[in-house]
Structure 1
Amino acid sequence: MKTIADLLLLGDPRLYETCAPVLEADLPQVAGWVADLHAVMEDIRATYHFGRGIAAPQLGIMKRLVYLNVDRPMVLLNPALVELSDATFTLWDDCMSFPNLLVQVQRHEGLTVRYRDEQWQEQTWRIDDKNLAELLQHECDHLDGILCTMRALDAQSFKWRPTPKAD
């Protein structure tokens, strides 16, 4: 089982690579990958008190897989963002691969994502909640080797977030 120590950190060249699609032949491995993603997300939540989604390449799994856990666990295989809203908003984005750094970026307020689920069924999900929409944009960027640091509004769009004190 992977832990927070396995998380790729800012500067690791694998974070800048484009991921390969998940193939139907990969399905037997998906449950193990998801278990690792879940475990690392829980470690991040316990240590840094944030974390709603994680992309497979953040653990060196160079496949187009996103794991979300907002209201419930959800796995998106080969997600593709379509129908991005014209309306955008600005926010301070965070990332598990650099947990103490916040980056000001602009994201679309809504979108539609097409993906396959763990049973290899095609799914379409319309997201009009801007918090979920930005989360999906962030995670799907990881699949294309794009970090939010690369989407910063300008050179002043970075700020430090101290590590929370232990409870």
Structure 2
Amino acid sequence: MKHLDDLLLLGDPRLYETCEPVLESELPLVAGWVADLHNVMEEIRAKYQFGRGIAAPQLGIMKRLIYLNIDRPIVIINPELATVSNEKNELWDDCMSFPNLLVRVQRHCSLTLTYRDEQWKSHAWEVTDWPLSELIQHEYDHLNGVLCTMRAINEQSFRWRPTPS
């Protein structure tokens, strides 16, 4: 089982790599990967009081796999952004790989995501909810070796996270 100490941190070269698709033959491995992602996300939540999603490469699993857990767990295998809205919003983004840093970025307000689930069933998910759309884009970027630091609006778009009380 992977733990918080296994989380790749800003500067680790693996965070900048493009991930390989999960193969159907690798489905038996997905449950273990998801258990590791879930465990590390729970440890982040306990320590830093944030965390709605995590991408496999953040644990050195260089596969196109995202785990979300907002109101329920969602496993997203081999996602593709089918469409994105022209309209964008700005936000202070955070990341488990640099938990004390916030980065001002722009993200699309809505999107359509195609992906497979842990039973290899295909889905097309139209996401019009802003916080969820933003989260999916953040995690999707991880699969392509893109960190929110690389999407900063400008050089003043960085700040330290306030310490939880």
TM-score, normalising length: structure 1:
0.97
2-structure distance, mates of 1:11, 1:61: 16
**Structure 1 position 161, deviation (Å):** 1.0
Residue deviations 1:43-64, cap 9 Å, x none? 0000000000000000000000
The aligned counterpart of 1:144 is 144
The aligned counterpart of 1:133 is 133
2-structure distance, mates of 1:11, 1:134: 23
**Structure 1 position 164, deviation (Å):** 2.4
Q: How does 1:6-45 map to 2 (within 5 A)?
A: 6-45=6-45
Q: How does 1:1-167 map to 2 (within 5 A)?
A: 1-165=1-165
Residue deviations 1:92-134, cap 9 Å, x none? 0000000000000000000000000000011010000010000
| Equivalent residue pairs, number | 165
What is the identity, as a one-letter code, of the residue corresponding to 2:130?
Answer: K
> Which 5+ residue runs of structure 2 have no aligned equivalent?
none
Does the aligned pair in 2 maintain the 1:88–1:109 contact within 8 Å?
yes
What is the identity, as a one-letter code, of the residue corresponding to 1:49?
Answer: Q
Secondary structure, aligned partner of 1:141: helix
Secondary structure, aligned partner of 1:18: coil
Q: Which runs of 4+ in 1 moved over 3 A?
A: none
What is the identity, as a one-letter code, of the residue corresponding to 1:82?
Answer: A
Secondary structure, aligned partner of 2:20: coil
1-structure distance, mates of 2:74, 2:41: 13
> Aligned-residue CA RMSD in angstroms?
0.7
TM-score, normalising length: structure 2:
0.99
Secondary structure, aligned partner of 1:5: helix
> Which 5+ residue runs of structure 1 have no aligned equivalent?
none
1-structure distance, mates of 2:119, 2:146: 28
What is the identity, as a one-letter code, of the residue corresponding to 2:3?
Answer: T
